[in-house]
């Protein structure tokens, strides 16, 4: 076992104090929440998964929960670890070794989606409590008979025993998030009339029997943790009172060791389980403190966008929780714990709650992060890039997130780097997004990049536009061109409106509204050919300034390029602000006689309609790279790397990844 020899006081004495739970000692209170990684191939952990979990343990998490392990044959999938199969034990042992060697305890997750499904279409193999549709996919499951339930319980318990033999310290049963056990707990999805349905006693029976069977198979010490549903925001399902009754019923038998509570369900409220893009950080602490009163002695974990060690420390000292679970924040920085403990909080790369990580796994790719281009690399915790063979003077033109990422990585390799930015502040369009409702957390991306840049000696020439006229003044051995992109004016706008600046693009409009508190009576039309988060964040800001906001798009719905979870939140906010959405239309143009009328054409049948009271129009459209300097630089024979939107318009994830790769390569 590798022991931590770092000494010294910490600003978070409770967060970094040890605790014994269920006879298992934890060296601190930092826990890694379960995260599906898509780093499993053919039922076996890849090296990437072993790195990923090992890095979180090495980086300071005393408790690490795996992603769901298939422990019954029915529950098998090729991208799940094979807890049901003795032949797969070696791979699972490697995982246990990778975590336990850091004096961290590894727990496997017991989870079954039941009828739950995110993808389009139905799941014909689903089973569940009652023949009722999943709230998202409308999958109607096969109803489990009591004998099926008994068989599953036996197999789960045997699977947990197998994990114990492989060196795991316990398991966590995922009974929230709208999955199978949640479906049994909820009176909305469980309408059974046998012993597994009905009142709280009946609906908790499956889970209670499962816990007892696991305990009988594994004995003690072997941690059994419960991830329970808090209020799930589904009408007729679980509210705070019923979840408290469920918690009390489970605690009465005393066979598990700790619990956590999570929000939302596999329904329109799915987004609640990963809070953050709008609203405060750590939003569930009051609810958790209240739910733990169902059995105050049960050790309690707090989950839900806890990013700051101060928040964690406070939740421990004010009696909310005994453990702090971090999901996304540990994807972004595996060394969150070590950095907080040793007074290096400023070096933490913070989660920005963009939920790109979720998107990458739902789309079936390996886990990635907008603010950590190295998820699952071997040396992720205390990474230092290898020094460059030849030290160069590098000019990075453009101070957006692609340019900044390339700059600090190149400087960390020993290059002499200068960043030129036209604006007085670094961050590019991400900074603008961070000023809009729900974008606030994004500032952590460029704040970290600037800090890392300064640490490695990057010079910042902000407020300096580099163009055709002064490019020759920039002395460098290599150039990184990261000059972003500009929205193209849509064809329906008369050219003079664009030339005269009557109709600004959405970014220009947001800049002009900065710091203003005006509110105009009339309609602003936002033409949406973008469908990413920033457009809707800007629409919310427009609702502060205009009495009516109408979004017009040729697509079937809004936010098609946004993952389901974030799209739910966007729709919630747009409806809350009474923002009008008009789909399947293209603007045909402004009425020549009455400029307050915008004419629309249905994209399918050509029918026309109109919007009245239009006092302003703006657009969020496909972007065109600002790559004018590329030609000049390459013609002059300079080593030139074109990145970010300037290469081709792209997401935050693609921009930071490309910046990182360029910084490593140059």
- The residues binding ligand FMN (CB under 6 A) are 33-36, 67-68, 109, 111, 174, 177, 227, 262, 273-274, 303-305, 326-329, 357-358, 361
**Shortest CB 308 distance to ligand FMN, Å:** 12
Question: Measured from the CB atom, is 281 or 541 closer to ligand FMN?
Answer: 281
The three state secondary structure string of 282-303 is CCCHHHHHHHHHHCCCCCEEEC
Question: Measured from the CB atom, is 306 or 396 closer to ligand FMN?
Answer: 306
Distances (CA, A) of 522 to 393, 462, 553, 613, 619: 53, 38, 20, 6, 17
SS3 578: coil
Closest CA to 197 of 124, 106, 130: 130
Question: Measured from the CB atom, is 583 or 651 closer to ligand FMN?
Answer: 651
Q: What gap in Å lies between CA 454 and CA 373, rounded to an integer?
A: 19
Question: Measured from the CB atom, is 227 or 507 closer to ligand FMN?
Answer: 227
Burial category of 239 from C-beta neighbours within 10 Å (exposed 0-12, middle 13-18, buried 19 and up): middle
Question: Measured from the CB atom, is 441 or 641 closer to ligand FMN?
Answer: 441
The residues, ordered by sequence, that sit 6+ positions from 230 with a Cβ below 8 Å of its Cβ are: 176, 238, 240, 243, 261, 262, 263, 284, 287, 288, 291
Question: Measured from the CB atom, is 175 or 590 closer to ligand FMN?
Answer: 175
**Shortest CB 231 distance to ligand FMN, Å:** 15
**Shortest CB 460 distance to ligand FMN, Å:** 32
DSSP 603-652: TTT--EEEE-SEEEEEEE--EEE--HHHHHHHHTT-EEEE-GGGTS---H
Question: Measured from the CB atom, is 274 or 538 closer to ligand FMN?
Answer: 274
What is the Cα Rg of the chain in Å? 27
**Shortest CB 331 distance to ligand FMN, Å:** 7
Question: Measured from the CB atom, is 177 or 623 closer to ligand FMN?
Answer: 177
Question: Measured from the CB atom, is 34 or 450 closer to ligand FMN?
Answer: 34
The one-character DSSP state at 110 is E
Rounded (10°) angle between helices 89-100 and 146-165: 60
List the structure tokens of 632.
């000049």
**Shortest CB 173 distance to ligand FMN, Å:** 10
The residues, ordered by sequence, that sit 6+ positions from 640 with a Cβ below 8 Å of its Cβ are: 478, 479, 480, 481, 630, 633, 634
**Shortest CB 629 distance to ligand FMN, Å:** 38
**Shortest CB 37 distance to ligand FMN, Å:** 8
List the structure tokens of 488.
């193209």
Question: Measured from the CB atom, is 177 or 413 closer to ligand FMN?
Answer: 177
Question: Measured from the CB atom, is 116 or 141 closer to ligand FMN?
Answer: 116
Q: What gap in Å lies between CA 340 and CA 290, rounded to an integer?
A: 28
**Shortest CB 28 distance to ligand FMN, Å:** 16
Closest CA to 215 of 178, 160, 138, 252: 160
Question: Measured from the CB atom, is 244 or 282 closer to ligand FMN?
Answer: 282
CB 658 within 8 A of CB 645: no
**Shortest CB 409 distance to ligand FMN, Å:** 25
Beta bridge partners of residue 105, listed in sequence order? 63
Question: Measured from the CB atom, is 327 or 439 closer to ligand FMN?
Answer: 327
Closest CA to 300 of 329, 274, 324: 324
The one-character DSSP state at 503 is S
SS3 content of the chain, % helix, strand, coil (to 5): 35, 20, 45
φ, ψ for residue 140, nearest 5 deg: -100, 120
The one-character DSSP state at 505 is B
Distances (CA, A) of 351 to 273, 332, 370, 371, 440: 15, 5, 9, 7, 12
The one-character DSSP state at 449 is H
Question: Measured from the CB atom, is 127 or 358 closer to ligand FMN?
Answer: 358
Q: What gap in Å lies between CA 457 and CA 413, rounded to an integer?
A: 11
Question: Measured from the CB atom, is 177 or 203 closer to ligand FMN?
Answer: 177
**Shortest CB 566 distance to ligand FMN, Å:** 12
**Shortest CB 100 distance to ligand FMN, Å:** 21
Strands (E), 88-186: 105-110, 127-128, 142-143, 170-174
**Shortest CB 274 distance to ligand FMN, Å:** 5
CB 385 within 8 A of CB 409: yes
**Shortest CB 513 distance to ligand FMN, Å:** 31
Q: What gap in Å lies between CA 224 and CA 217, rounded to an integer?
A: 12
Question: Measured from the CB atom, is 31 or 570 closer to ligand FMN?
Answer: 31
The residues, ordered by sequence, that sit 6+ positions from 363 with a Cβ below 8 Å of its Cβ are: none
**Shortest CB 361 distance to ligand FMN, Å:** 5
Question: Measured from the CB atom, is 273 or 657 closer to ligand FMN?
Answer: 273
DSSP 4-22: P---S--S-TTTTS-EEET
**Shortest CB 163 distance to ligand FMN, Å:** 16
């Amino acid at each position: 076992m590798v022991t931590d020899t770092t000494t010294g006081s910490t600003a978070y004495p409770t967060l970094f104090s040890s605790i014994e739970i269920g006879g298992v000692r934890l060296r601190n209170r930092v826990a890694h929440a379960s995260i599906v990684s898509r780093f499993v191939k053919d039922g076996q952990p890849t090296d990437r998964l072993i790195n990923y979990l090992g890095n979180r343990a090495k980086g300071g998490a005393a408790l690490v929960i795996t992603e769901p392990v298939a422990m019954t044959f029915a529950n098998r999938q090729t991208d799940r670890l094979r807890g049901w199969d003795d032949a797969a034990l070696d791979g699972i042992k490697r995982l246990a070794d990778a975590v336990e060697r850091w004096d961290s305890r590894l727990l496997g997750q017991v989870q079954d989606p039941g009828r739950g499904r995110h993808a389009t279409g139905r799941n014909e193999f689903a089973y569940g409590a009652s023949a009722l549709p999943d709230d998202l996919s409308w999958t109607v499951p096969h109803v489990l008979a009591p004998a099926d339930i008994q068989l599953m319980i036996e197999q789960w318990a045997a699977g947990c025993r197998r994990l114990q033999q492989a060196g795991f310290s316990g398991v966590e049963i995922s009974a929230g998030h709208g999955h199978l056990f949640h479906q049994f707990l909820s009176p909305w999805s469980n309408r059974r009339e046998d012993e597994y349905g009905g009142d709280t006693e009946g609906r908790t029976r499956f889970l209670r029997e499962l816990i007892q069977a696991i305990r009988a198979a594994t004995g003690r010490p072997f941690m059994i943790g419960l991830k329970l549903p808090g209020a799930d925001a589904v009408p007729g399902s679980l509210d705070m009172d019923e979840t408290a009754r469920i918690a009390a019923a489970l605690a009465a038998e005393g066979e598990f060791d700790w619990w956590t509570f999570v929000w939302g369900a596999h329904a329109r409220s799915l987004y609640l389980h990963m809070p953050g893009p709008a609203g405060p950080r750590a939003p569930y602490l009051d609810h958790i403190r209240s739910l733990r009163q169902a059995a105050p002695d049960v050790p309690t974990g707090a989950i839900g966008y806890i990013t700051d060690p101060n928040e964690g420390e406070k939740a421990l000292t004010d009696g909310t929780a005994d453990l702090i679970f971090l999901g996304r924040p540990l994807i972004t920085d595996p060394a969150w714990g070590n950095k907080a403990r040793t007074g290096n909080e400023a070096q933490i790369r913070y989660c920005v709650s963009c939920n790109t990580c979720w998107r990458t796994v739902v789309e079936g790719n390996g886990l990635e992060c907008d603010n950590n281009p190295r998820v699952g690399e071997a040396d992720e915790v205390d990474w230092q890039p290898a020094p460059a063979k030849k030290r160069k003077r590098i000019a990075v033109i453009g101070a957006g997130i692609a340019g900044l990422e390339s700059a600090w990585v190149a400087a960390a390799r020993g290059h002499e780097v200068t960043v030129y930015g036209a604006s007085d502040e670094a961050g590019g369009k991400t900074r603008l997004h961070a000023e809009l409702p729900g974008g606030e957390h994004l500032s952590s991306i460029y704040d970290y990049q600037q800090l890392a840049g300064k640490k490695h000696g990057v010079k910042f020439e902000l407020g300096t536009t580099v163009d055709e006229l002064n490019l020759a003044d920039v002395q460098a051995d290599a150039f990184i061109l990261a000059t972003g992109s500009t929205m193209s004016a849509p064809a329906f706008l008369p050219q003079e409106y664009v030339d005269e600046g009557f109709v600004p693009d959405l970014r220009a409009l947001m800049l002009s509204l900065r710091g203003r508190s005006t509110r105009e009576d009339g309609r602003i039309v936002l033409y949406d050919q973008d469908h990413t988060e920033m457009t809707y964040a800007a629409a919310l800001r427009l609702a502060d300034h205009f009495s009516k906001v109408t979004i017009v798009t040729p697509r079937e719905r809004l936010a098609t390029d946004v993952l389901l979870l974030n799209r739910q939140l966007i729709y919630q906010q747009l409806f809350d602000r009474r923002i009008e959405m008009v789909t399947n239309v293209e603007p045909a143009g402004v009425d020549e006689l009455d400029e307050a009328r915008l004419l629309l054409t249905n994209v399918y049948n050509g029918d026309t309609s109109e919007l009245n009271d239009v006092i302003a129009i703006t657009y969020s459209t496909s972007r065109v790279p600002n790559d004018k300097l590329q030609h000049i630089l390459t013609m002059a024979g300079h080593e030139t790397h074109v990145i970010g939107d300037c290469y081709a318009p792209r997401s935050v994830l693609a921009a930071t990844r490309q910046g990182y790769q360029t910084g490593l390569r140059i």
